[in-house]
Amino acid sequence: MTDSAEGLTHLDDEGRARMVDVSQKAVTDRRATATGHIVMDAATLARIVAGDVPKGSVVQVAELAGVLAGKKTSDLIPLCHQLPGANITVRLEPDEKLPGIVAHAEAIIAGQTGVEMEALTAVSVALLTVYDMVKAVDRGMRIGGIALLSKEGGASGTWLRDSGESGE
């Protein structure tokens, strides 16, 4: 695997985009977690929690959308590797302090490359799904704080976001 002069693995020495060759990397257990949130009117959150949204269960649909998106990450991000068999979980939790919903995703695989992009994609699409399902009552919602919280496995080992560091 040849890195560009700047150490950017998705650029060759001539600055052209390329897929990273992971064919010679060892298969290791890999895990990544990510988070994000959507801020909305308190009345909108109350409707979601009460199940008073015409399109159905916002939380269930958004969690499922996040899982499906995580599985399709390589279709969305051009230089991502396909990761068959990755286990992806997404959980959404109402947070009255925001007010809004906080999304958490975890992606796990035994593979030759990490699953950070899968976790981040899962969170992003879950939050976009929340927006889509309730935009008719609250177009002013804001999605933010999408961040990798941790990654484990591979040659670079474990990385944890500093607990005092926000995703903003």
Residues marked active site are found at: 132
CA atoms within a 13 Å half-sphere pointing along the CA-CB vector of 45? 19
> What backbone torsions phi and psi does residue 151 show, to the nearest 5 degrees?
-145, 140
Three-state SS at 110: strand
48-81 burial: b if 16+ Cβ within 10 Å, else e = beeeebeeeebbebbbebbbebbbbbbeeeeebb
The whole-angstrom separation of Cα 161 and Cα 74 is: 24
**Length of the chain as a residue count:** 168
